[in-house]
Structure 1
Amino acid sequence: MLWGVSMYLSSMLFLLLGSVCCLGMSLICLSSGQAWFIEWELVSLNSSSIVMTLILDWMSFMFLGFVMFISSMVLYYSGEYMAGDKNMNRFMYLVLGFVLSMGFLIISPNLVSILLGWDGLGLVSYVLVIYYQNEKSSNAGMLTAMSNRIGDVAILLAISLFFSCGGWNFLFYVSDMPVLSSSELLWGLVIMAGMTKSAQIPFSAWLPAAMAAPTPVSALVHSSTLVTAGVYLLIRFSAALEGSSSQTVLLLLSSLTMFMAGLGANFEYDLKKIIALSTLSQLGVMMSILSLGYPDLAFFHLLAHALFKALLFMCAGTVIHSVKDYQDIRMMGGLVHHMPLTGMCMNLANLALCGTPFLAGFYSKDVILEVAFMSPINLVAFVLYTLATGLTVCYTMRLVYYTLSGDFNLGNLYSISDNASIMSSPMMALSMGAIFGGAALSWLIFPSPYMICLSLFFKTLALSVSVVGGLAGYMLNMVVVNYELNSLKMYSSTVFAGSMWFMPYLSTYGVSKNLLVGGEMYQKIGDSGWSEYYGGQGIYGVVSKTSSYLQVLQDNSMKVYMLSFLLWVILLFFMMM
């Protein structure tokens, strides 16, 4: 136990020191406009060389600093959350491996070397999702791994297409990609890789399923590591998106993703899955503004979202830890009276998620909505943007009612308090980030502000929709809880909206059933049919018979010699005639 305590403390201090150094280097790069591109030649043979390349600019330094800061808080938080676990050291090593993979992905400008971090994230995420070793965790881990393998294959195919550029350092070639004959296919593969890692439609089913991992892992995954890797990759490739036909497709899919996630969160009762669906909705916001040609805004929201989403997951973990591992929000209620510090931090994170003025989410989300309304988007994307904004506040207020301010539903025997000081300290540190982080980032990333010209209707639209969504989310659920469950009257619509539009079914049983049918058919006709008869087994039979004849000839039998002698005599006789 002493080794576990020293380990999480030393890991936290190491990552915190690295975070301070990276953020300081980011400020230096921002003020001087410098960036470092480092090449390290590993092997050189004749005219071929294998080179490891690193990119160190303000964006990679800043993102790496945020990843290290949030990881240090998560590791310190895990010191008490995972204290009773027998394999706590293994958990710490896995989280450190996760952070190492993400760091390598951030500083890699080479499409080949980026695979090390990309596949490292996929492998370690699978091991962390199946950490509790039960059937549900195993299924969720397999869904996560298989969904992310689609993106890995897309990256491998993109590497082969990069041969036409003459190298794999994609930062040098993104501006020339629209000129290439294979640019549309190449950009489509990169988009598919980013969509699988960031769980956009139709690859959204794995993200709520990954909630089978321990809550500290969820705080790390859903804030700054795994799910943001796809957005970060597309930010680096954003120069090639200009004028591409993929822009409209990505805009519609990301808008549908944030609407679908916001709608599904209003029908979900699992605390961690509600927060996971809110992450999916915010990933849709990042992808949509990225498809409109604003990678700096997408990166801004990526960092601001990481602060309050890690805080929200930590608060959820504290609540789950206190109520003896319940995750159903209907079993909670009135927790603000027993856990005032956790309730304050959770409300702060929820308000930042809704875009409340002068919190972290406001500075990024409000600018994104206004720039999107000012851009020439189609009517479908505009409606989805508006509805998703209202649904975000709706499910947030629903969560506040069921967990913090509703009726107390835990029974008579309970012991709920904020006595866990080790878990409370990182929550307070992230609370400061949720309050001041958005303003500080806006001053650093945007020294000259955007010029936004909107009418009064569009200027107040986001605020109006948020107010309406908040009132609906709080008041409607109060009526539903106290009187009758109205969702049962529209059961089929409720199931459709609450099951992510049947995507978990389509991604698991629907795929496996079709593969099973195809496998049986091809096995009977192909593997066990004609290909086997004229292939492996057929050749094996011919070779076996031939070898048996040769074995008879080599047995030194007089009968064989006499028979062969007679055959040679008959053959010579016919030849002489």
Structure 2
Amino acid sequence: MSNLLLLLILLPAAAAGVCYFVRSSAVRNLTVLATGAILTLASLGLLSHGVFEPIEVGSILGIGSDFLVTVLDFALLGVIFFYGIKHKSILIQAFTAAQAVLLAWFEIVMVKHEAVPALAGDQLSLIMVLVISIIGSLICIFAIPYMKEHEEHLHLKKSRQPRFFFFLVLFLGAMNGLVLSNNVLWMYFFFEVTTLCSFMLIGHDATEIATRNSVRALWMNAMGGLAFVLGMMLVYMEAGTLNIAAILTSGNQTALMLTGLGFLCLAGFTKAAQVPFQSWLLGAMVAPTPVSALLHSSTMVKAGVFVVLRFAPAYAGSFLSTGVAVCGAFTFIACSALGVGQSNGKKILAYSTVANLGLIICCAGINTPLALTAAVMLILFHAISKSLLFLCVGTIEQAIGSRDIEDMRGLYARLPRTALITIIGILTMMLPPFGVLLGKWMAIEASADSNIFIVVMLAMGSALMVVFLARWAGSMMATREEGGRCESQPTLTRLPLLILCLGAVVLSIASPWIYNSLLAPWLGSAPFMVGFGSLESAHGTFVVVPLFLVLGLGLLYAVKAGSGYRKVKVMPPYLGGANSSVDGTYVGPMNGDVPFAAGNMYLGELFAEGKLTPVFNALAVALIVLMLGGAL
């Protein structure tokens, strides 16, 4: 078991070293492919083994594991501080120096350094390892042909791919280490590794905007790291242990303990880009698309929600728990509203990501078995659908030179395969009986046991999200032209897209059994019963398999009914009696022919990003202060 766990954590680090130091592109590509395959098999092997009690890791390469992590902690902080100096960021320097001083005091003076089992695995950890290892590996594989074309577009004299793949692959090992950690100090170390990796990847292209956004991401996440250290110190002062399993079962909810847990949640908020910290993740969209996909789906931001979820049992039933739920629900509705006014595909996905992360955090705050079920379901299915959509946007951008959804109008006529996969990905985000909608239904049902304000925010946020997702999908199908031949794509581009698309559908069909085998044992008090391919509870029944059967029959009927529509005469759009004699035009001013054009409404006056963001940020700060103040 120890060997399997270390493989999941250390193999990506070793593979990252190969990618960086061996400059052969063939060796690098083979290393990425082999690492992805091994991580996938290892994660499935860990799942087949099942949950396991916390285990100790004696030494790594002959060095005590706890001592090695401590040394690497300070080395990592030194690297981050160096970049703070390099980019002349006082905030990075201040937050990193404060972390180093507090961590030194904590390690030297406060901690007794008793033997703490370093790694543990419950159902939550196993699901996270699957998400990281499989989806993350597919994204890394997609990056192989993508980065080749990306660098050709930039006309680089010297390839930067060795450094790019170093941090991309290292990310996977850091995330596996974080979700498997049972020692708070280990979790903190991996938490900070993800901070450095994201900084390096966001600034990869070395343009002015990329550098500026990477620096912002670094100082915001360095602030989250400082909150983590403060929370860790306060929790240790009260609990007297670094053992996460012991902390979760202690039942200690003193003011000091809840304050420490509140700071840990604040660290999770920054990492998950919750309002008012969302700007770093929105800025990350300047990075190459595989970076965006990795950050938004299976790493980095999921580290934030994982921290909040991991410590949820320790603050259950407290005011802090309610505060976490309100903060998450507010982020959900705020970012759903901000997404309505966007036409940039990546920015739409970014706001959608932050909103859904807010929904997951809200579920952690509601903290009932039903809410926790919703949270884990959303983590799983959101990761699949969102990684698929980001990779689709990257593919479309390289094909048409734009990520604006207005430029994707009628995309099916030009790129039928990519357009169809993108539309399926969008549908899995917003329609029943797909997994993301199932998770949202569970979240709204769970919020009914909380308070009316959370119910309203979740319902309104869900409605707003449908607006901008449906608008995007409709635009791509808005064509009267017959779809051409499927576009040619490199195998390593097409394969991840097809696997993720198929996974989003097949796993949604299997969601009742996923719940029964993975989540029900973790929850103790299971809120659902599985019957006839449906999830049944006192709150209601979500019909999964029967609805998929109806959906399949409806699709077959639609295909048959529309099979002959190309043979009928295509009429121009009716323009209120003003059609001219030239197809596609209408009679305009001075009786001239004006071309007909279709476009979406973005309701800029109501959902203006520049006007709403400062207001939402101020409200979010007030809610966070109230959350931490209530813990005291």
Q: TM-score, normalised by structure 2?
A: 0.69
Partner of 1:367: 442
Worse-superposed segment, 224-233 or 50-59: 50-59
The 8 Å contact of residues 22 and 62 in structure 1, kept in 2 or not, is answered as no
One of 251, 254, 257 as aligned partner of 2:325: 251
Q: Aligned AA for 1:21?
A: A
Matches of 2:598 and 2:31, distance apart in 1:
52
Residues 498/259 of structure 1: CA separation in 2 closer, same or farther (3 Å cut): farther
Greater shift, 495-504 or 165-174, is seen at: 495-504
One-letter code of the match for 2:378? H
> Is the CA contact (8 Å cut-off) linking 1:82 and 1:88 kept in structure 2?
yes
Q: Deviations over 1:127-157 (max 9, x none)?
A: 1111111121122112211111221011111
User: How has the CA–CA distance of structure 1 residues 104 and 34 changed in structure 2, closer, same or farther, with 3 Å as cutoff?
Assistant: closer
Query: Deviations for 1:448-486, whole angstroms, at most 9, x for unmatched residues?
Result: 652633489x99xxx9xxxxxxxxxxxxxx99x957987
Distance 1:62 1:485, change over 3 A: closer
| Residue among 413, 420, 427 paired with 1:351 | 427
For 1:48 and 1:422, locate their aligned partners in 2 and report how far apart those are by CA, in whole Å.
Answer: 47
Cα distance, 1:354 vs structure 2: 0.4
Q: Could you say what secondary structure the match of 1:201 adopts?
A: coil
Task: Check whether the contact 2:325–2:361 (CA below 8 A) recurs between aligned residues.
Answer: yes
Per-residue deviation at 1:316? 0.8
Gaps of 5+ in 1: 409-413, 464-477, 508-577
- Cα displacement (A) at 1:178: 3.2
Q: Is residue 303 of structure 1 aligned with residue 380 of structure 2?
A: yes
Matched, 1:69 2:134: yes
Local SS of the residue matching 1:331: coil
Aligned ranges 1:492-571 → 2 under 5 Å: 493-496=606-609, 500-501=613-614
Distance change >3 Å, CA 445–CA 506, structure 1 → 2: closer
**Residue 336 (structure 1) aligned with residue 357 (structure 2):** no
Question: Which digits, 9 at most, give the CA deviation of each residue in 1:494-518, with x for residues without a partner?
Answer: 42577534668999xxxxxxxxxxx
Task: Provide the TM-score with structure 1 as the length reference.
Answer: 0.75
Shift of the 446–100 alpha-carbon distance from structure 1 to 2, 3 Å rule, reads closer
Q: For the residues of structure 1 that align with 2:256 and 2:618, how far apart are their CA atoms?
A: 34
Q: 1:435 to 1:104 in 2, by over 3 A?
A: same
**Is the 1:8–1:75 Cα contact (8 Å) retained in structure 2?**
no
Which of 4, 18, 22 is the matching residue for 2:39? 18
Q: Are 1:4 and 2:16 matched, yes or no? A: no
Question: Within 2, Cα distance between the matches of 1:284 and 1:291?
Answer: 10
**Aligned residue pairs: how many?**
473
Q: Alpha-carbon deviation of 1:323?
A: 0.8
Q: Is the 8 A contact 1:235 1:290 kept in 2?
A: yes
Q: Which runs of structure 2 are paired with 1:42-191 in the superposition (5 Å)?
A: 42=64, 53-84=118-149, 85=151, 86-161=159-234, 162-176=236-250, 178-191=252-265
Cα distance change, pair 363–179 in 1 and its aligned pair in 2 (3 A): closer
Match of 2:343 in 1: 269
Check conservation: 2:23, 2:162, Cα contact below 8 A.
no
Equivalent residue number for residue 569 of structure 2: none
Give me the whole-angstrom Cα distance separating, in 2, the residues matched to 1:260 and 1:230.
19
TM superposition shift of 1:333: 1.3
Native 8 Å contact 1:26 1:57 kept in 2: no
Deviates most, 219-228 or 359-368: 359-368
The change in CA–CA distance for 1:214 and 1:506 in structure 2 (over 3 A counts) is: farther
- Once the 2 structures are TM-superposed, how far is the Cα of residue 186 of structure 1 from its aligned partner? 1.0
Of the candidates 538, 551, 571, which is equivalent to residue 453 of structure 1? 538
Give the % identical residues.
Answer: 23
Structure 1 residues 280, 398: closer, same or farther in 2, change over 3 A? same
2:267 maps to a residue whose letter is: A
- Structure 1 residues 50 and 423, CA gap change in structure 2 (3 angstroms): same
Q: Which amino acid aligns with 2:341?
A: F
| Aligned partner of residue 343 in structure 2, secondary structure | coil
Q: Distance in 2 between matches of 1:100 and 1:499?
A: 38
1:432 alignment partner in structure 2: 502
SS state at 2:224 partner: helix
Cross-structure match for 1:442: 515
Q: CA deviation at 1:93?
A: 1.0
Using the alignment, how far apart are the partners of 2:394 and 2:213 within structure 1?
Answer: 19
Amino acid at match of 1:11: V
Question: Residues 409 and 476 of structure 2 are in contact (CA less than 8 Å); yes or no, is this contact kept in structure 1?
Answer: yes
| C-alpha distance in 2 between matches for 1:436 and 1:497 | 40
Q: Which residue of 2 aligns with 1:531?
A: none
1:169, distance to aligned residue in structure 2 (A): 1.5
For residues 416 and 196 of structure 2, what CA distance do their matches in structure 1 show? 38
The runs of 5 or more residues in structure 2 that have no matched partner are 1-21, 68-107, 152-158, 521-525, 529-535, 548-574, 577-595, 621-632
Q: Secondary structure at the match of 1:55?
A: strand
2:406–2:600 contact (8 Å) kept in structure 1: no
Shift of residue 367, structure 1, vs aligned partner: 2.4
SS of residue matched to 1:182: helix
| Residues 93 and 504 of structure 1: CA distance in aligned 2, closer, same or farther (over 3 Å) | farther
Distance across 1 between alignment mates of 2:618 and 2:287:
20
What RMSD, in angstroms, separates the aligned Cα atoms of the two structures?
3.3
Distance 1:155 1:485 in 2: 43
Residue type at the aligned position of 1:153: L
